[in-house]
């Protein structure tokens, strides 16, 4: 009987995940699982109003509750210069409100008690006297002359306008529109939604008053950057701050910012001298932490009669909430939204963006996407769908006509991105073949004759992920490099320490596989550590699909550094010249005689026991990798829907996803990432919505109102792939964590529009719910 050789975990091997052993036993260590001796608990009193002046705060009833240790107000924080904190976009945000509340759910006061139930009881007893002000709930309202001024505390702020930012060439774009045979326009709103990781955000702050050391256990996607921000905000010496990000129960961008609760818990621990735990409940999470999207977008495409695109003009107004706290590189005011030319060879494009304050929660994180790329991808893919309808072209034909061609890479886009590699027609063809596109078009034509509504949606997206390079991309000045430190021990086992931080992506397995590929140490022998700032090299963290493009590259580079040193040692062991040493899958040998070899384990042992003259001991190294460019994953997604004319219900019959993320380290993990993204994209397209009434009351503050897809609604996915390696990444990988959330919403919505476009319906804003579809059908006299 043939014995199966166990996989070592080279690149391309779908080995099982190393981290799973603890999770399936219930032995993960998430934030709320941490319990320290003497630990106190914090609860937050939040504003019930969207916009109100605080007349007074009475904490006496709360303070009188047995078990309450302290009540923290903005006034107390102001005494320590902590009432306001800087945001990731160069604005300020109230930690606890002192003058006004600016959104419903804003943090007003905190209770610290010896029991979490007591803390919550007491938080409800805090009496706040409010003078209610008119709420501003849309950015359009916010920018009207005479609109109530939300940020009246900001010097020089005369209105609710935040930023104006442009990309591309306006004159060239105007000229392209002059020459156009046809202009197709689409106004669409990408509504506010929320990453909603299943684990909410939280902190256990443990400040030792005797030593001044602060150990902060935090649900952090970026522990090193957070440490530096804490040093700046709280004025604590950075060497005394240790952030430990334990197992994280999903992030999706929600755990990138620093939230007021983290700051108050830390301050409280410092003042009281005991550990303080704060864990959000679900409403806290939905009502106050990093929301996503909320972009009002208007796109115009200039076309020739044959369907060739000549130019793209985009205007976008973002609703940033009460504080401009978007998590994004500092030079870019609307993230990387200017990637909006997508997969198309557009010679002229101009993008104009503005942002406005409203009385809503701040945040503006990229929910499983790289800095607003999903909004961009959605707009261009929806606009191309409109163009296909207007030009009476098949949506695949118009795309094929306008794709950037494989031979055009590297391709400089009209808005300044240098696309690294791609083969868009190929990915589309694989998807069309897998779906059986032509047959389904025939079926659709037959059904249409009978009055039945069936649609096929197409989206051919391109992402831009993996920021830096550091000279262009930074977070509050910190360059977006990332790091890897590799220590190979005498017995040939290794520890890999990373600056990035997994939230479920499987780093403990996939990053070990990069070491396996580069050094030949089996993945089982490589322990991956992340999330502890005292014990990992500095890095910017995990978001924007940057772990593999940047941290993965760092891992490959540091492994190669060690391999170079190992060659010197191998030459010594084999009594040969270093120049004659070759390496293949963990074995060093003299060129031409592979039978006489030394393994990486032999060499590792020698690195501590038997070194050549003049060589430092040890086999360890560290690399800080600044990528030369970002990576550009892409793919084509196809969706088939059937729509009930009587109810407007949309049923997703099929979903085919063909992704090209370059080289796949662990195909099983890659597919899992894509499944998750397709599901979150499905939720965004059809279910997930945070909206507000005219008084600024948040609707979507719990899972009764904020609907997430369950196994029952979620479609079954059919997967395909192409592999176009990134030419500048050491192992050719591009990153995949977010492709599916970026690409899929447009595919789902395009399928709906494809089903109803012939009735004259051009747009239904997400979430595409039955009532909206039925109303659109009804307006055209097509509902039953």
Partner 1 sequence: MGQSITVTVNGEQRSAEVEPRLLLVHFLREKLRLTGTHIGCDTTHCGACTVLVDGTPVKSCTMLAVQADGQQVTTVEGLLTGGALHPMQAAFKEEHGLQCGFCTPGMMLTSIALLKDNPDPTDDDIRWALSGNICRCTGYMNIVKAVKSAAVQMKAAAAVPAATAAARS
Beta bridge partners of 110: 44, 72
217 binds partner 1 (CB under 8 A): no
Q: Does 444 bind partner 1 (CB under 8 A)?
A: no
- Residues pairing with 316 in the sheet: 297, 353
Q: How far is C-alpha 484 from the chain's CA centre?
A: 21
**Interface residues for partner 1 in 164-183 (CB under 8 A)?**
none
CB of 630 to partner 1, least distance (A): 24
Instruction: Please identify which of the residues 293, 313, 333, 368 carries the catalytic annotation.
Output: 368
Q: How far is the CB of 24 from partner 1 (least distance, A)?
A: 4
Q: Does 32 bind partner 1 (CB under 8 A)?
A: yes
Q: Which of 747, 767, 741 is nearest to 681 (CA)?
A: 741
Q: Which residues contact 748 (CB under 8 A, 6 or more apart)?
A: 457, 639, 641, 652, 681, 682, 685, 686, 768
Rounded to an integer, what distance in angstroms lies between the CA atom of residue 679 and that of residue 392? 31
Q: How far apart are CB 50 and partner 1 at their closest, in Å?
A: 23
Of the residues 148, 250, 436, 727, which one makes contact with partner 1 according to CB under 8 A: 250
Nearest residue to 455 (alpha-carbon basis) of 757, 752, 217: 752
Binding mask 673-712 for partner 1 (x = CB under 8 A): xxxxxxxx---------------------xxx---x-xxx
Q: What Rg, from alpha-carbon coordinates, does the chain have? A: 27
**Please, which residue, 30 or 163, has the CB nearer to partner 1?**
30
Pairing label, strands 691-692, 698-699 = antiparallel
What is the 8-class DSSP label of residue 340? G
- Comparing CA positions, the residue from 264, 263, 269, 362 lying closest to residue 40 is 269
Question: Residues near 433 by Cβ (< 8 Å), separated by ≥ 6?
Answer: none
Residues 6+ positions from 530 with CB-CB distance below 8 Å: 245, 497, 498, 499, 500, 501, 502, 507, 536
Closest distance to partner 1 from the beta carbon of 198 (Å):
4
Choose the stretch contacting partner 1; rule: CB under 8 A; options: 377-385, 558-566, 668-676, 758-766.
668-676
Q: Which H or E run includes 224?
A: helix 223-234
- Return the closest-CA partner of residue 431 out of 674, 260, 164: 674
274 to 333, contacts with partner 1 by CB under 8 A? 281-283
Minimum CB distance to partner 1, residue 116 (Å): 8
| Residue 105 or 504 having the CB closest to partner 1 | 504
CA distance 589 to 608: 20
Closest to partner 1 by CB, 66 vs 781, is: 66
- DSSP conformation class of 314: E
Q: Known catalytic residue: 368?
A: yes
> Using the rule CB under 8 A, is 198 a contact of partner 1?
yes
653 in contact with partner 1 (CB under 8 A):
no
23 by Cβ neighbours in 10 Å (0-12 / 13-18 / 19+) ranks as middle
Q: How many CA atoms lie within 13 A of 365 on its CB side?
A: 27
Q: How far is the CB of 121 from partner 1 (least distance, A)?
A: 10
Q: How many other CB atoms sit within 10 Å of the CB of residue 415?
A: 22
* Minimum CB–partner distance for residue 39 and partner 1 (Å): 11
Distance of closest approach, residue 258 Cβ to partner 1, in angstroms:
21
Query: Which residues within the stretch 464-523 sit at the binding site for partner 1 (CB under 8 A)?
Result: 503-506
DSSP secondary-structure letter at 547?
Answer: I
CB of 551 to partner 1, least distance (A): 18
Residue with the two structure tokens 């992340």: 530
CB nearer partner 1, residue 572 or residue 664:
664
743 binds partner 1 (CB under 8 A): no
Asked whether position 579 contacts partner 1 by CB under 8 A, the answer is no
Taking each helix axis from N to C end, the angle separating 424-435 and 395-402, rounded to the nearest 10 degrees, works out to: 160
Residue number with CB closer to partner 1 (16 or 154): 16
Q: Is 531 left (phi over 0), alpha (psi -120 to 50) or beta?
A: left
Query: Does residue number 249 form part of the binding site for partner 1 (CB under 8 A)?
Result: yes
Closest CA to 425 of 416, 433, 417: 433
Q: Is 141 a catalytic residue?
A: no
Q: Smallest gap, in angstroms, from Cβ of residue 377 to partner 1?
A: 19
Q: Is 37 in the site for partner 1 (CB under 8 A)?
A: no
| Least distance between partner 1 and beta carbon 547 (Å) | 14
- DSSP structural state of residue 631: B
Which of 19, 580, 642, 721 lies at the binding interface for partner 1 (CB under 8 A)? 19
- Exactly one of 1, 3, 24, 579 binds partner 1 (CB under 8 A); that residue is 24
β partners of residue 581 = 590
Closer residue to partner 1, CB minimum distance, 537 or 676? 676
Q: Is 28 in the site for partner 1 (CB under 8 A)?
A: yes
- By CB under 8 A, is residue 66 in contact with partner 1? no
State yes or no: residue 612 binds partner 1 (CB under 8 A). Answer: no
Q: Which is nearer to partner 1, 14 or 691 (CB)?
A: 14
User: Which residue, 199 or 620, is less far from partner 1 as judged by CB?
Assistant: 199
Q: Which is nearer to partner 1, 252 or 774 (CB)?
A: 252
Residue from 38, 81, 117, 771 that binds partner 1 (CB under 8 A)?
A: 117
Locate 410 and state its tokens: 């590297």
Q: What is the SS3 string spanning 79-110?
A: HCCCCEEECCCCCEEECCCCCEECCCCCEEEE
639 secondary structure, DSSP code: E
Closest approach of Cβ 491 to partner 1, in Å?
26
Q: Is 63 an active-site residue?
A: no
Give whichever of 2 and 198 is closer to partner 1, judged by the CB atom: 198
Compute the least distance from the CB of residue 419 to partner 1, in Å. 28
Active-site residue among 369, 381, 503, 762? 369
- x/- mask, partner 1, residues 68-107, rule CB under 8 A, reads ----------------------------------------
Characterize 50-76 residue by residue with b for buried, 16 or more Cβ atoms within 10 angstroms of its Cβ, and e for exposed: bbbebeebebeebeebeebbbbbbbeb
Q: Name the 3-class secondary structure at 647.
A: coil
Stretch of 136-144, 165-173, 242-250, 747-755 contacting partner 1, by CB under 8 A: 242-250
Q: Which of 5, 35, 56, 211 binds partner 1 (CB under 8 A)?
A: 35
Reference 503, options 289, 249, 285, 308; nearest CA is: 249
The count of residues interacting with partner 1 (CB under 8 A) is 57
What CA–CA distance (Å, rounded) separates 490 from 697? 61
Nearer to partner 1, 387 or 687 (CB): 687
CB of 30 or CB of 189, closer to partner 1: 30
CA dihedral sign of residues 751, 755, 759, 764: negative
369 is an active site residue: yes
Strand ranges of the sheet holding 526-529, from the earlier edge strand across to the other edge:
526-529, 494-498, 482-488, 620-625
The correct pick among 86, 469, 490, 672 for binding partner 1 (CB under 8 A) is: 672
Longest Cα–Cα distance of the chain, Å, equals: 88
Stretch that binds partner 1, among 25-33, 68-76, 339-347, 577-585 (CB under 8 A): 25-33
Q: Which of 221, 328, 505, 513 is catalytic?
A: 221
Q: Which of 280, 381, 385, 738 is catalytic?
A: 738
Q: Among 190, 252, 481, 632, which residue interacts with partner 1 (rule: CB under 8 A)?
A: 252
Which window, 16-24, 42-50, 319-327, 607-615, contacts partner 1 (CB under 8 A)? Answer: 16-24
Provide the binding-site residues for partner 1, judged by CB under 8 A: 16-17, 19-28, 30, 32-33, 35, 116-117, 196-200, 247-250, 252, 281-283, 503-506, 668-669, 671-680, 702-704, 708, 710-712, 714, 716-717
Catalytic residues: 221, 368-369, 738
């Amino acid at each position: 009987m043939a014995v199966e050789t166990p996989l070592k975990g080279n690149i391309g091997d779908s080995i099982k995940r190393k981290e799973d052993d603890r999770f399936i036993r219930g032995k993960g260590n998430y934030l709320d699982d941490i319990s320290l001796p003497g630990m106190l608990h914090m609860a937050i009193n939040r504003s019930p109003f969207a916009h109100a002046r605080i007349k007074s705060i009475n904490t006496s009833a709360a303070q009188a509750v047995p078990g309450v240790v302290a009540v923290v107000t903005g006034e107390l924080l102001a005494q320590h210069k902590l009432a306001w904190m800087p945001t990731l976009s160069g604005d300020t945000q109230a930690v606890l409100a002192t003058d006004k509340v600016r959104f419903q759910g804003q943090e007003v006061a905190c209770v610290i008690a010896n029991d979490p139930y007591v803390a919550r009881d007491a938080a409800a007893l805090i009496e706040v006297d409010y003078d209610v002000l008119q709420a501003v709930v849309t950015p359009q309202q916010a920018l009207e002359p005479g609109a109530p001024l939300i940020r009246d505390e900001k010097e020089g702020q005369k209105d609710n306008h935040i930023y104006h930012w442009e990309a591309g060439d306006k004159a060239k774009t105007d000229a392209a529109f002059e020459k156009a045979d046809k202009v197709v326009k689409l106004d669409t709103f990408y509504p506010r939604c929320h990453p909603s990781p299943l684990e909410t955000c939280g902190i256990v702050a443990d400040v030792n008053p005797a030593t001044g050391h602060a150990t902060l256990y935090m649900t952090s996607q970026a522990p090193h950057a957070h440490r530096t921000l804490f040093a700046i905000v709280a004025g604590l010496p950075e060497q005394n701050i240790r952030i430990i990000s334990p197992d994280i129960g999903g992030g999706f961008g929600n755990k990138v910012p620093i939230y007021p609760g983290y700051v108050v818990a830390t301050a409280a621990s410092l003042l009281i001298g005991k550990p303080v735990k704060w864990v959000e409940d679900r409403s806290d999470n939905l009502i106050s932490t990093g929301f996503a999207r909320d972009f009002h977008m208007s796109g115009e495409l200039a076309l020739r009669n044959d369907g060739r695109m000549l130019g793209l003009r985009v205007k976008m107004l973002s609703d940033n909430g009460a504080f401009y706290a978007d998590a994004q590189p500092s030079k870019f005011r609307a993230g990387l939204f200017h990637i909006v030319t997508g997969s198309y060879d557009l010679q002229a494009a101009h993008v104009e963006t503005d942002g406005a304050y409203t009385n809503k929660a701040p945040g503006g994180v990229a929910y499983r996407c790289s800095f607003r790329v999903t909004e961009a991808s959605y707009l261009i893919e929806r606009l191309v769908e409109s163009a296909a309808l207007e030009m009476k072209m098949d949506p695949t034909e118009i795309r094929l006509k306008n794709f950037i061609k494989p031979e055009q890479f590297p391709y400089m886009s009209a808005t300044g991105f240098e696309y690294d590699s791609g083969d868009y027609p190929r990915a589309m063809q694989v998807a069309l073949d897998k779906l059986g596109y032509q047959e389904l078009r025939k079926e659709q034509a037959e059904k249409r004759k009978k009055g039945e509504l069936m649609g096929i949606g197409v989206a051919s997206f391109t992402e831009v992920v993996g920021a830096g390079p550091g000279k262009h991309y930074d977070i509050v000045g910190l360059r977006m490099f990332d790091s890897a430190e590799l220590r190979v021990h005498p017995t040939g086992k290794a520890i890999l320490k990373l600056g990035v931080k997994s939230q479920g992506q499987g780093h403990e397995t996939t990053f070990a596989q990069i070491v396996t590929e580069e050094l030949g140490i089996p993945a089982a022998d490589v322990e991956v550590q992340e999330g502890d700032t005292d014990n990992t090299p500095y890095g910017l963290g995990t978001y924007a699909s940057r772990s593999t493009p940047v941290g993965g590259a760092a891992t490959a580079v540091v492994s190669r550094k060690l391999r170079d040193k190992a060659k010197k040692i191998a030459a010594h062991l084999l009594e040969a010249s270093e120049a004659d040493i070759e390496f293949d899958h963990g074995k060093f040998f003299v060129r031409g005689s592979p039978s006489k070899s030394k393994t990486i384990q032999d060499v590792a042992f020698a690195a501590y026991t038997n070194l050549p003259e003049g060589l430092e001991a040890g086999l360890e190294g560290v690399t800080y990798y600044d990528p030369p460019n970002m990576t550009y994953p892409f793919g084509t997604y196809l969706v088939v829907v059937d729509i009930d004319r009587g109810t407007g219900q949309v049923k997703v019959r099929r979903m085919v996803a063909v992704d090209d993320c370059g080289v796949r380290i662990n195909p099983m993990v890659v597919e899992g990432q894509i499944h998750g993204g397709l599901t979150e994209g499905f939720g965004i397209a059809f279910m997930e919505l945070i909206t507000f009434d005219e008084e600024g009351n948040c609707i979507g503050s719990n899972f009764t109102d904020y609907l997430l897809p369950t196994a029952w609604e979620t479609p079954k996915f059919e997967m395909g792939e192409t592999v176009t390696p990134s030419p500048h990444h050491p192992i050719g990988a591009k990153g995949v964590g977010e492709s599916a959330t970026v690409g899929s919403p447009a595919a789902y919505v395009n399928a709906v529009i494809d089903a109803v476009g012939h009735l004259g319906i051009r747009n239904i804003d997400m979430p595409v719910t039955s009532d909206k579809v039925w109303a659109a059908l009804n307006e055209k006299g097509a509902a039953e």
